[in-house]
Amino acid sequence: MSKRTNGSREPLFIQLFDFLDKYQNQEDQIIAQKISGIKRSQIANIKAHLYKQLLASLRLYHRSNNIDIYLSEQLDYAYVLYDKGMYKASLEILDKAKNLAIEKKQYMVAQNMVEFEKHIESQHITGSMSAKALELDEISHYLIHRNQKSANLSSASLQLYGLYLKHGYIRNKSDYRYVTDYFDKLMPSYDLQDLDFYEKMYYFQSHVWYSNMIHDFLNYYRYAQRWVNLFLEYPAMIEKEMSSYIKGLHNVLNALFLAGKYRKFKENYQLLVNLDTQEQYQINRNVKSLLLLFENVHLINLHYMQGSFTEGLAAIPKLEQLLKTNEYNWDPHRIMVFYYKIACLYFGAGKNEECIHYLNLIINNYFPKVREDIQSFARILNLIAHFELGNELLISYQIKSVFRFLSKMNDLHEVQKEIFKFLRKTPRIQQEELDEEFRILRDKLVVIRQMPFERRPFLYLDIISWLQSRIEGVKVETVIARNFAAVQ
């Protein structure tokens, strides 16, 4: 830790820290004026030094509750002792740290430790050569096998997740063949009995992304639940990999939401919320960020399922502040999904102007190659919201640009085509004929919803409930709440 005194005066980097902590102002000109003895030309170097000191202090602070930092520190100590010629002491540290690393399934750092042990044993006479060589060779081969398998599976999981982030759900048979071929190439057959914790986790994750993309929501739920159950089988790994555990719970909740399994959804949602209150877990900033992210996502989903859209709006001001400040550094993909979900919440509550506001945050901003499906449906919902407001001239102008956007994205489904047909002819429809046109469109969409590869639009917006609400002259949330009550 840095000393706060240096003779009669504190070091400049400490003075800078105190100033920034108090005033939150990082302008060089202000800093030079307020801190005596500091020149503007020095500030960049002092800031860099302060940053290094802060990292060193944080590393020391988190050493006791972060196994990665602890193991890295032990390896550092082994190198220091080796450089001092204290070979046996170095080997003792390596042996203890290596065993702990293997116990905690940190095979990559364990392999580094074994390689260093082998180096010491091969360069110096330590009195343990013959037996130790065989032991290290055996452990080395075991760790190489584990790390290779883990690397392959983690790469497969990452690539499939990247594919999902770019495209979302499949759109047609061509997409299905492409995604399935992609998955088959990445995921050769594995015997689960031969997989360790991380390998199983990556294996289940890969199946989660694949099943979700191809609309196989039953397997999506099964593999997401296996992902969570894996942590229940290895409870010591929950705190070590809390972020992965939370993401597993998130995918279970998402699968239950898509399947409309309300009771199970609510039970698992409570598990997620309760994580923040369990004293046995260290909730760091990264974990807090994920908890807030997924609690808000699934709180909105809960209101979707119940049809309690107006009630759900009470949570929006707090969420909006989180999105505005983005103090947890949520990525553009997450923020875009929130905008769309909030827009749908306002739409369901019959507040179309607010709905359009959030949709415009998606439409008028550039989200390169991220969830193109959400970007497409934001434009569809925007047309419907303007239709609700009676903006016929605006709709006739926007239909062309939306049609071009969807054509460019190759995202024109039967649902979109039917909605376009309907909106194009609305200026010519007499008021007394409108209800019948709504019924005709509703009946067409009910048939389309049963078609393979045509379910995706209904995952983003309950268009049929919207049409029913127009026929009955009630809010969308009234129809959804009634449907929800009928199946409970």
Residue 349: DSSP 8-state: T
- pLDDT recorded at residue 76: 94
Q: Mean pLDDT, to the nearest integer, of 430-454?
A: 87
On the question of pLDDT at 268 being above 80, the answer is yes
Candidate ranges 25-29, 302-306, 328-332, 449-453; pick with highest mean pLDDT: 302-306
Q: Whole-angstrom Cα distance, residue 162 to residue 352?
A: 33
Using an 8 Å Cβ cutoff, are 235 and 275 in contact? Answer: no
The better pLDDT of the pair 366, 239 is held by: 239
On the question of pLDDT at 5 being above 70, the answer is no
- pLDDT recorded at residue 53: 87
Least Cα distance to 292 among 326, 262, 256, 260 occurs for: 326
Q: What is the pLDDT of residues 104-123, one digit of tens each?
A: 899 999 999 999 999 988 87
- pLDDT recorded at residue 4: 46
The better pLDDT of the pair 370, 444 is held by: 444
Q: Whole-angstrom Cα distance, residue 68 to residue 159?
A: 25
Using an 8 Å Cβ cutoff, are 147 and 182 in contact? Answer: no
Q: pLDDT-based confidence at 124, cuts 50/70/90?
A: low
Percent above pLDDT 90 for the chain: 54
- Least confidently predicted of 113-117, 124-128, 288-292, 435-439: 124-128
- pLDDT recorded at residue 21: 76
Q: pLDDT-based confidence at 25, cuts 50/70/90?
A: low
Percent above pLDDT 70 for the chain: 94
- Per-residue b or e along 184-198, where b marks 16 or more CB atoms closer than 10 Å to that residue's CB: eebbeeeeeeebebb
- pLDDT recorded at residue 129: 57
Q: What is the mean pLDDT of the chain?
A: 88
Least Cα distance to 308 among 482, 147, 168 occurs for: 482
The full DSSP string for 273-292 is: HHGGG-TTS---HHHHHHHH
Sign of CA dihedral 135, 141, 146, 148: positive
- pLDDT recorded at residue 130: 63
Q: pLDDT-based confidence at 333, cuts 50/70/90?
A: confident
Q: pLDDT-based confidence at 125, cuts 50/70/90?
A: low
**Which value, to the nearest 10 degrees, does the dihedral of the CA atoms of residues 21, 26, 28, 30 take?**
-70
Q: pLDDT-based confidence at 464, cuts 50/70/90?
A: very high
Q: Mean pLDDT, to the nearest integer, of 465-488?
A: 91
Q: Whole-angstrom Cα distance, residue 441 to residue 428?
A: 16
Q: Mean pLDDT, to the nearest integer, of 125-129?
A: 55
On the question of pLDDT at 63 being above 80, the answer is no
Q: Mean pLDDT, to the nearest integer, of 198-219?
A: 95
Q: Mean pLDDT, to the nearest integer, of 24-35?
A: 71
Q: Mean pLDDT, to the nearest integer, of 242-268?
A: 95
On the question of pLDDT at 6 being above 50, the answer is no
On the question of pLDDT at 127 being above 60, the answer is no
Q: Mean pLDDT, to the nearest integer, of 148-155?
A: 93
On the question of pLDDT at 309 being above 80, the answer is yes
Q: What is the pLDDT of residues 158-187, one digit of tens each?
A: 999 999 887 778 878 898 999 999 999 998
Q: Mean pLDDT, to the nearest integer, of 301-324?
A: 95
- pLDDT recorded at residue 369: 65
Question: What is the helix (H) or strand (E) element at residue 44, kind and residue range?
Answer: helix 40-62
Least Cα distance to 463 among 473, 453, 451, 448 occurs for: 448
* Residue for token pair 């460019």: 408
